[in-house]
Amino acid sequence: MKTISRAKNSGFPAVVFIILYLLLFIARHGFSIDSASIAQSDPAKQSDSKQGSDAEQPETKIVKPLGPTDEYNRGVPRGSLKGFLKATRDGDYKRASQYLDLRYLPDRVSEINGHQLARRLKIVLDKELWFDLEVVSDHPAGFTDDGMPANRDVIGRLKTPEKTVDLLMQRVPRGDGAYIWKISNQTVAEIPHLYEHFGYGPFGESMSKIFPDAQFLGWQVWQWILWLINLALAFIVALLITWFANLLISRKDSEMRRQIKQLVAWPVRFLLWLLLEEVGLSFIGLSMTVRTIFQYDPVLPFVITWTALRLVDLLVFWWGERLGRSGREDAIVLLRPARTAIRVTLIIAAALFWLDNIGLKISTLIAGLGVGGLAVALAAQDTLKNLLGSIMILLDKPYKVGQRIVAKGHDGIVEEIGLRSTRLRLLSGHQTTIPNDEMAKIDIENIGQRPHIRRVANIGITYDTPPGKIEKAVDIILNILDNHEGMVPGLPPRAYFSEYNSYSLNIIVFYWYHPADYWAFMKFTQWVNLQIAREFQKEGIKFAFPTSTTYLSQEDNQPLQVSLDGNLSLDGEKV
């Protein structure tokens, strides 16, 4: 026997959306109720209705009902249960009592009249159970293979804190020798117990006496009125709480606090409204129809997802500010794809949760998403490689935006570290782009990371410079560089007579300039060069320049003749 068992509702709509969803589900359930009413009505009346609507149609063939002929259509379990449900829905509890087996009831139950028992059972069923009439037997003998006695069928079960109550249909004698199906006296005897747990209670009973005994979607008039009052009160309470929270947040003004205020003023307010509404509805009680509507209702999942997305935005904003304060602006570029990935994941998870909540099988959909994700991953290998490369670069930090690097022969300033590539502005002014997948693999010379600039200079003086002058030249250079501008304390300047070059005596000079400001270094270098030139000139120390010595020879058959300025011959005579 298939039934819809007791379940807790998972969400409650806000005023902004409730009208749309109520209209949709009213139409849906109204159609199903009308169809059920037609199916449960007396066949003879249906035939009369059809004949009255079209007198020209041929006479409808009357189908003999299964089981014994009965004015209440109680020949089979399904017909009897349909008749009871239709009578209670129409408010005809006197007729509904004809479907209850009122024989052999305990004294405490027999004191209650039949139509009152029918009403209480209807209230319990409306709140806790939904029958699938198609699986109730339509055979006069009922189900014979369900493990129950031959004259009984189980149509549902209800659990209370004390016990589990079986709802039974029982085949009983009608009094004229025929057997009909009624709701078992064993079940009827449990109606007071079930109503104690699932009924309206004293407050509901008093309200049902004040308002008309009419219902819509399984709710009485007084329940709809209480729901509207609860809806308004929940919104007012949510509004006051979030307003007070924003008042506390506004004591200090900052962009972060403004973001939090937006979060509290919108998604948190609506989420709190729905949660307070749920608390109120737990006191009103839900009918199975309304519970089903709320089960299909996407408002609560939507508001929860909205709140989660805004929380993600807030966390990303906070993390970006933290990275900015720590000087890691380049890592902020990772927050954008991370934020997008988290948002997409949350939206997909919320959609799958809602689809699963309304009863759809999402295993096939998840499998499809997995295959589709694999296909996308294969098609986007290069993109994923570059994305992983950018993550590795930003985590390992071999270079940052604004630093000068040399990569793959390109010397330039890093302008941007993107998700796919790194952009360099070359010293020539041109821009080049290198994929991050390659940047993560190659050797990179980070010029911008150097703590200082080192200069190695070779100063050549002429070979005719005496040793004393050579020592003087080294001392002059060291005096110029002594405690110089930008000197690194641990790296004092150094100068040495280092080599006999082909045309000069070489003095090698080392010094380090800090900080590594290239143009300040060049200005200081110019000053050093000028000072050396002035001091060497004063001391008569000459800079060497490239010279060569040529040796001439002659042969007997090829006399050598050389003409020199001054018209001198090779032996010094005038020619």
Per-residue pLDDT, 15: 41
| 25 inside domain | no
| Within a domain: 42 | no
> Does residue 562 form part of some domain?
no
DSSP secondary-structure letter at 60? P
Query: In 3-state terms, what secondary structure has residue 434?
Result: strand
Res. 537: pLDDT tops 90: yes
pLDDT band at 418, cuts 50/70/90? confident
Of 55-69, 131-145, 249-263, 519-533, the range with the lowest mean pLDDT is 55-69
- What value does the mean pLDDT take over residues 354-366? 83
Q: Are residues 441 and 463 in the same domain?
A: no
| 480-510 confidence digits (pLDDT tens) | 999 999 998 899 999 999 999 988 999 999 9
Domain end position, chosen among 448, 479, 498: 448
Q: Report DSSP state, residue 334.
A: G
pLDDT at res. 560: 67
pLDDT band per the 50, 70, 90 thresholds, residue 426? very high
Residues 194 and 262 in one domain: no
Verify that 531 and 442 share a domain, yes or no.
no
pLDDT band at 365 (very low <50, low <70, confident <90, very high): confident
Determine how β-strand 404-407 pairs with β-strand 445-446.
antiparallel
Residues 192, 109 share a domain:
yes
Place 147 in a pLDDT band, splitting at 50, 70 and 90: confident
- Which of 23-27, 110-114, 438-442, 566-570 bottoms out in mean pLDDT, i.e. has the lowest? 23-27
pLDDT, residue 130, reads 85
Q: Are residues 341 and 428 in the same domain?
A: no
Instruction: Share the mean pLDDT of the chain.
Output: 84
pLDDT band at 10 (very low <50, low <70, confident <90, very high): very low
Instruction: Decide if 398 is inside a domain.
Output: yes
Are residues 476 and 535 in contact, defined by beta-carbon separation less than 8 angstroms? yes
Give residue 489's pLDDT.
87
pLDDT above 80 (res 543):
yes
Tokens, residue 151: 């004259």
Q: How many CB atoms lie within 10 A of CB 56?
A: 4
Residues 380-393 have a mean pLDDT of 85
179 and 172 in contact (C-beta within 8 Å)? yes
The reply to whether 269 falls in a domain is: yes
Region 425-436: mean pLDDT is: 95
Of 448, 466, 487, the residue at which a domain comes to its end is: 448
417 φ, ψ (degrees, to nearest 5): -110, 100
Residue 345 forms part of a structural domain: yes
Last residue of a domain, one of 361, 383, 405: 383
pLDDT at 96 over 60: yes
Q: Report how far apart, in Å, the C-alpha atoms of 287 and of each of 198, 282, 294 are.
A: 11, 11, 11
Is 60 exceeded by the pLDDT of residue 46? no
Q: Element (H or E) spanning 510, and its range?
A: strand 505-513
> Please, which pLDDT band fits residue 214 given cuts at 50, 70 and 90?
confident
In the chain, the percentage of residues whose pLDDT exceeds 90 is 59
Report yes or no on 175 lying in a domain: yes
The encoded tokens of residue 96 equal 């509904």
pLDDT of residue 9: 38
When pLDDT is averaged across residues 360-375 and rounded to a whole number, the result is: 79
Report how far apart the first and last C-alpha atoms of the chain are (Å, whole number).
140
**What is the reported pLDDT for 286?**
84
> Residue 556 has which token pair?
């007997």
pLDDT of residue 45 exceeding 70, the answer is no
Note down the domain range covering 513.
450-539
> Of 12, 167, 192, which is closest to residue 106 (Cα–Cα)?
192
If asked whether residues 398 and 535 sit together in one domain, one would say: no
**454 and 333 within one domain:** no
Mean pLDDT over 423-436 rounds to 95
In this structure, the answer to whether residues 346 and 460 fall within a common structural domain is: no
CA 76, CA 81: separation in Å to the nearest integer? 9
Q: Summarize pLDDT for 305-338 with one digit per residue, the tens.
A: 999 999 999 999 999 999 888 877 777 877 888 8
If asked whether residues 177 and 296 sit together in one domain, one would say no
pLDDT in tens, 229-284: 999 999 999 999 999 999 999 998 899 999 999 999 999 999 999 999 999 888 88
Choose among 18, 5, 6: nearest CA to 303: 18
Residues 185-211: tens digit of each pLDDT: 999 999 999 999 999 888 888 998 899
249 and 348 fall within a common domain = yes
pLDDT at 341 over 90: no
- CATH number of the domain within which 470 lies: 3.30.70.100
Kindly indicate the confidence band of residue 98, based on its pLDDT and cuts at 50, 70 and 90.
very high
111 — pLDDT class (breaks 50, 70, 90):
very high
> Is the per-residue pLDDT at 44 higher than 90?
no
The rounded distance, in Å, linking the Cα atoms of 344 and 336 is: 12
Residue 290: the pLDDT is 86
pLDDT at 526 over 60: yes
Number of domains in the chain: 4
Is position 19 within any domain? no
Task: State the pTM of this model.
Answer: 0.62
pLDDT above 70: percentage of residues in the chain: 85
**3 state DSSP class of 484:** coil
* pLDDT for the residue numbered 562: 65
Residues 316 and 418 in one domain: no
Q: Give the per-residue pLDDT at 52.
A: 38
Residues 376 and 410 in one domain: no
pLDDT of 536 reads 96
Which phi and psi angles does 446 have, rounded to 5°? -95, 95
